[in-house]
Structure 1
């Protein structure tokens, strides 16, 4: 957790572009929301040409849905969405009209990493001291 799922039409992104987007999304998340690099997940899924629609018309939309631990201010989430949008538009050359980015809050108590319920905001240090050695994690 966090999890960023990126869905796009097949052939839109090269391996190099996917790697650049994944690294950029990870950096954006850490810079603006904090957390541990090891927990930032970015997953790409592709759909076949002809299976993407926008406004009921066949197209090639890209959708980025981020799930992050609740507790961040709206201004932080807005900045994250803006930065992710700018990154993806720059790297992929997708038209802004074809890109949707969303961020949803998930209560810490509704998510786990390595079999351990995530800490509430502000309790990360104590959580890491307790479970970090079990998971091989350091800040």
Structure 2
């Protein structure tokens, strides 16, 4: 379920960096939350420089918005955000001062994937077992 949207201006992140960043976001999310990596989605959006502003001036940030299932401790979400921020800067070369990571929650019962309501955090194994039957 987690969906990580990565928004930046065109030309900031190469295709290879996108693949590396998607893999690292997936690894971090699974490591921190214990959720299966198959749950993680990473989507990249590149905009023209004229469409991205910070402090009312054109900018070249790396904006990452992760939507995750509610119910995880705040410390876990902080760890997710910090780890993703650091990794994103290291992989892309964008200074961490230009990286913004936001983690928001949505109740699992409000998300449907593969035609099924998602499980609460910690109930993934049962949910996956039901899917294979």
TM category (shorter chain) comes to: over 0.9
Q: Which runs of 5+ in 2 are unaligned?
A: none
Aligned partner of 1:108 in structure 2 is: 108
Aligned partner of 1:17 in structure 2 is: 17
For the residues of structure 1 that align with 2:80 and 2:55, how far apart are their CA atoms? Answer: 26
3-state SS in 1 of match to 2:51: coil
Q: Which runs of 5+ in 1 are unaligned?
A: 135-139
For the residues of structure 2 that align with 1:101 and 1:36, how far apart are their CA atoms? Answer: 21
Over the residues paired in the alignment, what is the CA RMSD in angstroms? 1.2
For the residues of structure 2 that align with 1:101 and 1:34, how far apart are their CA atoms? Answer: 20
Q: Offset of 1:97 from its aligned partner? A: 2.5
3-state SS in 2 of match to 1:50: helix
For the residues of structure 1 that align with 2:64 and 2:7, how far apart are their CA atoms? Answer: 6
Q: Offset of 1:129 from its aligned partner? A: 1.9
Find out whether 1:60 has 2:60 as its counterpart. Answer: yes
Counterpart contact for 1:39–1:113, Cα < 8 Å: no
For the residues of structure 2 that align with 1:125 and 1:64, how far apart are their CA atoms? Answer: 28
Greater than 3 Å deviation, 4+ residue runs: none
1:1-139 pair list within 5 angstroms: 1-131=1-131, 133=132
Counterpart contact for 1:20–1:91, Cα < 8 Å: yes
3-state SS in 1 of match to 2:49: coil
Counterpart contact for 1:9–1:46, Cα < 8 Å: yes
Q: How many correspondences in the alignment?
A: 133
Greater Cα offset, 73-82 or 95-104? 95-104
Q: 1:13/1:122 Cα in 2 relative to 1: closer, same or farther (>3 Å)?
A: closer
